[in-house]
Structure 1
């Protein structure tokens, strides 16, 4: 690994753990085993270092690497969640990106939603999934449901008595999530029919 890559990966780990504002250039340098001057030499500023870290995370999610499928971000996310130890810094950093309002975080969410739209459209076309009255909104809901354990991992962990995003937590989520998507929640369509009727006059 080059010195530049080592500095970048050290910054990803620290930004993910402590946040961008709380992480100093000196802390990144110590984590990478270099001088603070060398960090500035390679990146120019902490802001430019952060931009390269953002780009690295997006690349990790959208470029085919080993078993990761760059054509389908949901598959990539599942692969990362299945190997938490390896991808924890990436997932922690992703959670912060999606919450901090950065342009890179917004673009990444846009890409996640676009990939989900394509995935669901293909599922409907193949007959594997039911059609929706609002395909884009459904894709948005599915996307946000998928990133929820990453963005809200502290609350998930607290409520489940886990120390963080753990294998146990991910395994426990698997069946209930699939049950919800496969069988739905309500035993009949009474509420759906009532909502459709109520919304008719509001268009």
Structure 2
């Protein structure tokens, strides 16, 4: 008979092996046998703990969501608003969770929606705090700006392979993150245009689109 502690250890080992395999190769291509081999257990033990592959994936989804959004989760010692950045700075330890996160975000699962909503809420809180501290420029649409910043942060996670091909190095590696630091801060601090002509042109175009059409009085017979 297995003890409760042994069962919990085996369950965690299976879950972590599945997170690594799913993140590396995708959900559809990984077999239960591969996960069992990686975890050093039998396929029957996976069935015992999780039932089937879909249930195992759901458990992995829920665990990864909690890793990045639950302030009380013990895996990453950082506030939820900074969990992804902390994980990116230690890919040797947290890389499988980053890879899984990227897979999950493009998959459209309910867990992915919960994760995205949690990251969006954390970013919104961070920007609200910075706005109250007088650290932000005026914004025409706070919510859209928050969303764009989230997309900037998650883009390299979702498109890791494409960015690596374009740069010739892994953007999420220590060297890649170091290379991105100053350009990112330059973009957020100064923007890229040395003129406000494009901004003013966009404002004028939007004002013209939003303005109601001119109303003309009908001509009278005397006219």
TM-score by length of 1: 0.94
SS for the counterpart of 2:143 is: helix
**Partner Cα separation in structure 2 for residue 57 and residue 146 of structure 1:** 17
Number of the residue aligned with 2:214: none
Q: Cα deviations across residues 7-35 of structure 1 (Å, max 9, x unaligned)?
A: 00000000000111001111111110111
Q: How does 1:92-107 map to 2 (within 5 A)?
A: 92-107=99-114
Indicate the structure (1 or 2) with the bigger Cα radius of gyration.
2
Among 139, 152, 177, the alignment partner of 2:146 is 139
Among 66, 79, 88, the alignment partner of 1:69 is 79
Runs of 4+ displaced beyond 4 Å = none
1:125 aligns with 2:99: no
RMSD of the alignment, in Å?
A: 1.4
1:166 aligns with 2:176: no
Residues 164/183 of structure 1: CA separation in 2 closer, same or farther (3 Å cut): closer
Number of the residue aligned with 2:32: 25
Q: Cα deviations across residues 119-154 of structure 1 (Å, max 9, x unaligned)?
A: 112211110111211111101100010011111110
- Show structure 2 runs of 5+ residues with no match: 1-7, 211-223
Number of the residue aligned with 2:208: 201
**Partner Cα separation in structure 2 for residue 121 and residue 150 of structure 1:** 25
Residues 163/142 of structure 1: CA separation in 2 closer, same or farther (3 Å cut): closer
Residues 159/57 of structure 1: CA separation in 2 closer, same or farther (3 Å cut): same
CA shift at 1:53, angstroms?
0.3
Residues 197/164 of structure 1: CA separation in 2 closer, same or farther (3 Å cut): closer
Q: Cα deviations across residues 43-90 of structure 1 (Å, max 9, x unaligned)?
A: 0111110011011111111233353112x2xx2111111111111000
SS for the counterpart of 1:31 is: helix
Say whether the 8 Å CA contact 2:102–2:157 is kept in structure 1. yes
- Show structure 1 runs of 5+ residues with no match: none
Number of the residue aligned with 2:184: 177
